[in-house]
Structure 1
Amino acid sequence: MAKKQINVRVDEDEYATIEERAQAVGMDVAEYARTVLADEGSDLRHRFLNAGAHFAEEWGDHFAERFGHPAPAKHEPHGHAA
């Protein structure tokens, strides 16, 4: 299969985040970017996400009844650490 090239410019902070995530999964930045883009373009991924949303809508109340509701997340205002 022929390969196509995509060039994407990101700012330094975005690149640093992408680089950290790539390193965390043992990939270089280019390999990580290919994987993320391929996953985003995959019909299988979208079908999975839609099925998850359908499950949550259909069974969420039953699941919460059986297992309880999760504790609310504690969010700190931006720029303020506890």
Structure 2
Amino acid sequence: MAKKQINVRVDEAVYAGIEERAAAAGMEVNEYARLVLADEANDVRHRFLGAAGHFVGEWAGHFDERFGTDGRGAAPASKDSRAA
């Protein structure tokens, strides 16, 4: 497959953030940017995220009712150290 090149200008603060995330992922900035852009162009990923958002919208209240929350999204432990 032929490769295309794009050039994107960003301000220094944005670049610093990208550089930091790339380093945390153990990648060069160009490699990280290529991965992020490929993810954005992935239709399957976007459909999955849309479906996940729909699922959360439909079922989040039921999970909260059943398991509660400790303020950080985790279910609190019951007396026998298992989720209620």
TM-score (norm 2): 0.79
Query: What one-letter code is carried by the residue in structure 2 that aligns with 1:55?
Result: F
Give 5+ residue unaligned stretches, structure 2.
73-84
Residue 35 of structure 1: aligned partner? 35
Q: Equivalent residue of 1:30, what SS?
A: helix
Q: Mark the structure with the bigger radius of gyration.
A: 2
Q: Indicate the structure whose relative CO is greater, using CA pairs within 8 Å and at least 6 residues apart.
A: 2
Q: Equivalent residue of 2:5, what SS?
A: coil
Alignment deviations for residues 24-78 of structure 1 (CA, whole Å, 9 cap, x no partner): 0010000000000000110111011111111112211111111214527xxxxxx
Give 5+ residue unaligned stretches, structure 1.
73-82
Aligned length: 72
Q: Equivalent residue of 1:10, what SS?
A: coil
Root mean square deviation of aligned Cα: 1.4
The answer to whether the aligner puts 1:56 opposite 2:56 as a matched pair is yes
Query: What one-letter code is carried by the residue in structure 2 that aligns with 1:50?
Result: G
TM-score (norm 1): 0.80
Give the drift of 1:12: 1.0
Give the drift of 1:5: 0.6
- After superposing on structure 2, the runs of 4+ consecutive aligned residues of structure 1 that deviate more than 4 Å are none
